[in-house]
Chains A and B, each alone.
Chain A
Amino acid sequence: MATILPRPVEPIEEAEPSVLDDADLLGIRLGTPVRLDLLSDLKIDTQIGTIWLGTWGLLSTVLFVAGLGVTFLAGMDQVNGNPWVLVKYFANIRVSPPDGLGMAHSLRDGGYWQIVTLLWAGSTLAWAGRCYERLVRHKWRPYLLVAWLSAILLTATIWVFHPIVVGSWADAPALGLNSDLSWAQNFSVLWGNLYYNPFHQLAIFFLFGSTMLWGMHGATILATGSEGSHHEDNEIKSMSSGSEKAALFWRWTMGFNAFPKSIHDWLWWYAVGTVLSSAIGIIMTGVMTNDWYVWGVDHGTVAQYGPITRSAINQYPRPMPPPPTGYAYVPAPGK
């Protein structure tokens, strides 16, 4: 079995100058590149920095930090401004969305949530601008931008599009650690068990498939990297013995193999497929059906485990419980 040779000392690399860099008033690279030799023990690159600022990057950072600040203020508001209580109950602090589709009546009844949602929507979109602008500068094909926009599409579907379709911001997740988990649990129960949503099934298939593909592709390249299979952009042009062995391993194992280019098509589509099918599954919830278990029974995909009360299911729009308002922190008696 061949072993990986020690890595040569890497010289510090500066980005090559480009006219596109000067087109941005804020087009500067922050910091000076440093080498962290500790990282070579992990067999990963040792150079840290520099990082591009740019107008889009600054905008995205400012909006993100502003959102964090408003979230912090909302949390402080819930604990009467006591930072110790905020730390102690951090996991249970939640910034809830308002009921209905209009503006919130007050900051506490969803106003904080609406402000933070707006700020972070702006932040992710500005980051997409940064992504596009850097892709143009480095002459990449726009795969990364499409992947990032797909991720934004899923987030926007959960936070904005689905709540609009079902008529209440309250169907969106609250901001917070436990409230995030509660949303996932309650959303599934509220809409009749998401496991029977075919798009959710497809999304889980792609998600587990993504982990499996990272296992397969990562393992294949690590196993053959000593023969050069990890120089992937050049391998696509002409294959080294490492890529030949990688291809033959899978051909002999399962009768099918990818090549240095096509494996990355598989990877990209599995990852993007995850978020796209998730987005379809979320937007179809409340449109295709109000109860995915009943949908499954009606379409013969799941055995019927008990009686179904259809009169309750066909109510639309679905009556929503009012979101919890005011203070998350209620001191227990005696404390």
Chain B
Amino acid sequence: MAMLEFESVYKKPGNTLFKWVFGEDPFDFWVGRFYVGFFGLVAAVTIALGVSILFIAVGQYGDWDLWRANIPPPGRSVGLGWAPFLQGGAWQTVVILATLSFIAWGLREVDICRKLEIGFHVPAMFSLAISAWVVLQILRPLLMGCWCEGFDLSFTGHLTWVSNTGFRYMNFYLNPFHAYAVLGFFLTAMVLAMHGSAILGTYNTDKDPNVEMRREDSFWRDYVGYSIGEYGIHRLGFYLAVYTLIMSDLCILTSGTLVKDWVDFWHPF
């Protein structure tokens, strides 16, 4: 892309985690636009294996419809043991491979950050996103003593799981962490719209020379009395997303383990 003519300036070998540990990095190269690296290789292998098993399992279960194709977790009798392939073993394998590939993807982001000499905010945020997956599919099933607590790998199947889980603990809307998480989701959407509008509303182009004097700060001060600033808005958005993910983790981690009934939970109050 013509706009990326600066790419060659930054595209240099070295500075990877693998090289830092072993002194030499044979995986330190790009394939097309993708950086590979040791963790890219791990991610590619685990993704390829996981997707293959996903397709094999879906073929065995027989419903190829994009919406309904379903890979269910093991049954309750399996507990924390291994299940036969079609009785949940496929789910267990895919979950393990997916978790490995997520972690490898995050470490690959760390490598790219080290190459570009930028902060590690993106892999830090990505590790929080992985935490939601780990809490739902691994940590909470471990605490509950059964792999059957994980959600189905499916489109409407996982929606059914969400619906059932909500009713299982009586009324999930009364889970305070769930309410805080929903608040976080709504706030991120609102602040996202405000930030997007601020930049799209004010950016300057060569074609549009009359608007050089557009000022974000004085608009926001007029409008709501405070302007958080061009750096501050990204800190706000970043920490709103962090808050939302932590609350989401807490909301499902406490359900069934500490609290069995979110309506009854409020009784002492």
Most buried by A among B7, B112, B126, B241: B241
On chain A, the residues within 8 Å of B197 by CB distance are: 140, 143-144, 146-147, 268
Q: Is B156's CB within 8 Å of the partner chain A?
A: yes
Residue of chain B at shortest CB distance from A269: B196
Q: Are B235 and A252 in contact (CB under 8 A)?
A: no
Chain B binding surface SS class: helix
On chain B, the residues within 8 Å of A217 by CB distance are: 234, 237
Q: Are B225 and A252 in contact (CB under 8 A)?
A: no
On chain B, the residues within 8 Å of A76 by CB distance are: none
Q: Are A185 and B173 in contact (CB under 8 A)?
A: yes
Alpha-carbon distance between A140 and B217 when the two chains are bound, in angstroms: 12
The distance from the CB of B140 to the nearest CB of chain A, in whole angstroms, is: 19
Stretch of A115-123, A157-165, A228-236, A323-331 on the interface side: A228-236
- B118 contacts which of A141, A216, A245 (Cβ < 8 Å)? A245
Residue of chain B at shortest CB distance from A246: B118
On chain B, the residues within 8 Å of A274 by CB distance are: 189
On chain B, the residues within 8 Å of A29 by CB distance are: 222
On chain B, the residues within 8 Å of A249 by CB distance are: 109, 112-113, 116, 118, 122
On chain B, the residues within 8 Å of A222 by CB distance are: 119, 121, 234-235, 238
Q: Bits for B68-98, please: 1 = Cβ < 8 Å to A, else 0.
A: 1010000000000000000000000000000
Q: Is A202's CB within 8 Å of the partner chain B?
A: no
Q: Is A114's CB within 8 Å of the partner chain B?
A: no
Q: Are B188 and A1 in contact (CB under 8 A)?
A: no
The distance from the CB of B6 to the nearest CB of chain A, in whole angstroms, is: 5
Q: Bits for B186-197, please: 1 = Cβ < 8 Å to A, else 0.
A: 101111111111
Chain A binding surface SS class: helix
Residue of chain B at shortest CB distance from A140: B201
- B205 contacts which of A135, A193, A237, A252 (Cβ < 8 Å)? A237
On chain B, the residues within 8 Å of A195 by CB distance are: 156, 159-160, 162-163
The distance from the CB of B38 to the nearest CB of chain A, in whole angstroms, is: 15
Alpha-carbon distance between A139 and B210 when the two chains are bound, in angstroms: 10
Q: Are A233 and B219 in contact (CB under 8 A)?
A: no
Considering only residues 241-288 of chain A, those with a C-beta below 8 Å from chain B are 244-249, 251-253, 255, 259-261, 264-265, 267-272, 274-275
Task: Report A's interface with B, CB cutoff 8 A.
Answer: 1-2, 13, 15-16, 29, 31, 33, 42-45, 47-52, 130-131, 134-135, 137-144, 146-147, 151, 178, 181-182, 184-185, 193, 195-196, 201, 206-208, 210-227, 230-234, 236-237, 244-249, 251-253, 255, 259-261, 264-265, 267-272, 274-275, 296, 300-303, 305
Given A138-B215, A220-B122, A302-B67; 14 other pairs, CB 8 A cutoff? A13-B217, A16-B218, A47-B226, A134-B222, A195-B159, A214-B237, A219-B121, A244-B6, A248-B10, A251-B7, A253-B108, A265-B200, A267-B195, A267-B196
